[in-house]
Amino acid sequence: MMRVMMSMLAAAVILGACAESTPYQRAGADSRYGFSEQQIESNRYMVQFAGNSLTDRQAVETFLLYRAAELTLEQGYDHFTIVRRDTDADRRVTGTVGSPFRSHYGFNYRYYHPRFGWYGWRDPFWDDVNVREITQYHAMAEIQMGRGGREGDPNTFNAGEVVRNLGPNVRQPA
């Protein structure tokens, strides 16, 4: 009995871990969600962050900005300018149709009423329809890195300050 309980607890923990938003991580072979970057020129990069359906837009954009600042510091620069930025929302509607007559074998039971005819299969009063919208956000930015004084451009960010200020809001992987 104890072994069964421990197995059920382990399964619940594993399923619970799957059902959380994308942490701040590199996208790669294990996960297509997370950040990635590509160098365009010596001081210019394309930075991207893709979140799963549980990651909201604000988190995706925060992680993108954090990665841009982190990358800037890694490359030896102290500020970056966002040249171009975009956030896409991939929205899908998914649904399931169920029936109270569906068995665990995957087929439906039907019955015949002499007065009303056949009931139970594709009847609008018997079918249970569940519809939900799934949204995944993907943000990208082209950044140009620099050293020295910052101009008054609102698209230019001090990388050290961005890392310090956004760091507490960035959820690292477990």
Residue 9 within a domain: no
How many residues are there in the chain?
A: 174
Is 117 part of a structural domain of the chain? no
Evaluate whether residue 126 is within a structural domain.
Answer: no
The reply to whether 47 falls in a domain is: yes
Instruction: Please report which residue ranges of the chain form alpha helices under DSSP H.
Output: 2-18, 57-74, 159-166
Q: How far apart (Å, rounded) are the C-alpha atoms in residues 120 and 87?
A: 45
d(Cα 18, Cα 29) in Å, to the nearest integer? Answer: 17
> For residue 131, what pLDDT is reported?
80
Residue 148 lies in a domain: yes
Could you write out the DSSP letters of every residue in 12-44?
A: HHHHHHHSSPPPS-B-SSS-S-EEEEEEEETTE
Question: With contact defined as beta carbons under 8 Å apart, do 48 and 64 qualify?
Answer: yes
pLDDT of amino acid 5: 52
3-state DSSP assignment of residue 167:
helix
Domain presence at residue 120 = no
> pLDDT at position 153, please?
85
Residue 115 lies in a domain: no
As averages over each run of 10 residues, the pLDDT of the chain (174 residues) reads 53 55 89 94 96 94 97 96 95 71 52 65 58 91 89 89 94 84
Structure pTM? 0.71
Tally of domains in the chain? 1
What was the pLDDT predicted at 130? 75
The per-residue pLDDT for 13 is 46
65: containing domain: 18-91+135-169
The answer to the question of residue 118 being in a domain is no
